[in-house]
Amino acid sequence: MTGLVAARLWLAPLGSSLWLDETGTYWTIQDGLTGIAGRSYSPPQSLVYFYIAGTAAALGGASEVVLRLPSVAAMGLAALLLYRLGRRLLGREGALWAALVFVCWKEVAFAACDARAYALGVLAVVAAALMLVRWLDTGSYRDGLCYAALASLTAYLHDLFAVMFLVHAGYAAYVFGTGRRPVRPANAAAVCAASGILLLPLLAGFGKLVARGSIFSYAAQAETSQLFASFAPPVVLGSILAGLLLAYFVQPAGRLAEARGRPERMLLMVLWAAVPPVALFAISLVTPYEVFVPRYFLCHVPGLALLAGWALRSIAPAHKQVIVAGALAAGALAGFGSLRHATFAHTGENWRDANRAAARMVRESRMPVVVHSGFVLPVNEVLHGDSLAISRYLAPLSLYPIPGEIIPLPYEPGQEAEQYLERLAADRLAGANRFLLVSRGGNGVVAAWLEGRFAGTFERTRTRQFGNIALLLFERRGRTAAP
C-alpha cells in the first residue's frame, strides 16, 4: 500500500510545468556543471544539490521529469531508511506504519516531486539518525564517522536543517547520562571533531545568510495555531481518526495493545518531532527572520512518523490496522493527491503554458513584456543593472522563453518601486502600441496601477489565466485587439 500511494502522489506530477522556485534550479544549472558555482545564490541555496541536479540534466536532458527524478529517488530511499530505523526502534509493525505516515504527509509528497534540495535533505536527516542510533548502540568508529558525515551533509543541503544537531545532542546526552556508554570518550571526541571540521566551510555562507536573510523572509508572522497544526495536520489526523471510527464499527470489541518503548528511543522520536518546528517558530518570534515555513522544518516529519508508528502499531486485531491504513491512504489521495488535479499538476503555477501563450501573443513584434515573476528583486539591483540578479529574477523565462523586449518588475513595494514604475511607464511603455504583463499571482496592484496610469491611452483588452500565472494584454485605445 505504501508503494502504491507513493507512486500516485510522487510520480503523477513529474511531467507538469516547473513552478517558480524550480525554474530557479534550472536557471542555476542551465550552463552546465562549470557554470553552477557562479550562478548559485548560496546561501540559502545548496551547491551540493545543484551539482546533483546538473549531473542529472547532463545525463538525461533538462526536462521537467529529469530535473525532478533526483528528488523522487531521494525521498524513496528516505522512506526505506526510515523503515529500517523504525524496525530498530519499534519493530516491523511500527516501521510499516511510520513509512506509510511518512509517504502520506503532504509536505513529503510535495518535496518528493520537487526540483529542489528538500528531498535530499530529508534523506540525509534520516540516514544520519540511523547512523547515530547505531553508533550509540555499538560504539563503532565507522558508524560514528558515517554519522558525522551524514549529519554535516544535512546542513549542506539546507542550512535550517542543521537544527537537527540539537536533536542529536539531546539524544546523545541522555544516552550518556544513563551510564550505558558503549561509546568511549575518545571515540565521541573524534566524531565531534569530524563534524566540526566538515561544517567549517559553511560558516562564511551562514554569516552571509544572517546578514542578508531578511530579504528572503517573505512568510507571514508565525502564529501558535500554525505550530500546533505542524504536529497534527488535518488530512493525516482526520484520516486516522476516521479509520479508527470505521474500525470500531466493524468490531466494537477491539482494543489497543500496550505500546512501550525504551526511554531513550522515545526521547529521540519526541525531540525529532518537536525541536525543528519549535526552534524555527521561536526564531520567527524573536528575530526579523520569518522562517516558520513547513518546508523549512520538513526534517521533523520522520520523527512524527515514527511517533505515529509507535502509537498505531498497538491497534489490535490486525485487520483493524488494515482499515486505518486504508483510510489514511485514501485521505491523502483525496486531500492533496494528484487525483484532484485534472492535469496532475505539481502546483497551481503553469509557467510552461503561460509563457508559450505569451510567446504566441508577442509573435515577431517588439511588444514590451513586463514580467513580475515573484522572485525577490530589490529595486536598486534593477537600477544599477545587476545582470545576474535580473537574470535570476527572470528564471521562469530560461526554460520557457518569451521573445520580445523583456522588462523585469521588482518584487518589493514602496516609494522606490513606484518611482521605477513611473520611469518604466514613461520611457518604455508610453510609446508602444501594446504591452503584455506576465504576473505570478495576478499582481492586481500593478495591473490596477498600469490601468490608472494609462487610463486615457491604453486599455486592458485580454486576460488569460494559467493557474496562478496571469497574462494581461494592454493595447492603445482605438487599435484592434491582436488575434
Report, as ranges of residue numbers, the positions in the chain whose pLDDT lies below 50.
42-43, 253-258, 338-342, 481-483
Tens of pLDDT, residues 416-425: 777 888 888 8
Distance from C-alpha of 267 to C-alpha of 261, rounded to nearest angstrom: 10
Written as one letter, the residue type at 187 is: N
Q: Give me the pLDDT at residue 416, please.
A: 75
Shortest CA distance to 302 belongs to which of 51, 54, 150, 129? 129
| Model confidence pTM above 0.85 | yes
Contact 114, 68 (CB under 8 A): yes
- The pLDDT score that the predictor gives to residue 477 is 83
Give the ranges where 91-140 is alpha helix by DSSP (H).
92-103, 106-112, 118-138
Q: Are 257 and 195 in contact (CB under 8 A)?
A: no
User: Rounded to whole angstroms, how far apart are CA atoms 209 and 194?
Assistant: 24
Give the HSE-up count for residue 448: Cα atoms under 13 Å, Cβ half-sphere: 4
Domain borders along the chain are 2-340, 351-476
**Which CATH code fits 351-476?**
3.40.50
Q: pLDDT tens digits, residue range 5-36?
A: 888 888 889 999 999 999 999 999 998 998 88
SS3 327: helix
What burial letters (b/e) apply to 62-85, b meaning 16+ CB within 10 Å? Answer: bebebbbbbbbbbbbbbbebbbeb
How far apart CA 305 and CA 237 sit, in angstroms, is 12
Q: For position 214, what pLDDT does the model report?
A: 54
d(CA 91, CA 110): 28
Residue 198 amino acid letter: L
Predicted pLDDT at 323: 83
pLDDT of residue 260: 55
**Helix, strand, coil percentages for the chain (3-state, nearest 5):** 65, 10, 25
Q: According to the model, what pLDDT value does residue 417 have?
A: 75
176-206 exposure pattern, b = at least 16 Cβ within 10 A, e = fewer: eeeeeeebeeebbeebeebbeebbeebeebb
- Residue 60 phi/psi, 5° resolution? -115, 0
Q: Is the peptide bond before 396 cis (omega within 30 degrees of 0)?
A: no
- CA dist., res. 176 & res. 54, Å (int): 42
Q: pLDDT at position 482, please?
A: 44
Neighbours of 472 (CB within 10 A): 23
Return the beta strands (E) in 193-253 as ranges: none
The pLDDT value recorded for residue 63 is 94
What's the order of all strands across the beta sheet hosting 458-466?
405-408, 368-372, 434-440, 469-476, 458-466
Give the C-alpha distances (Å, rounded to integers) separating 218 from 23, 293, 411, 414.
18, 10, 11, 15
Is residue 168 within 8 Å of 152, Cβ to Cβ?
A: no
For residue 226, what pLDDT is reported?
Answer: 85
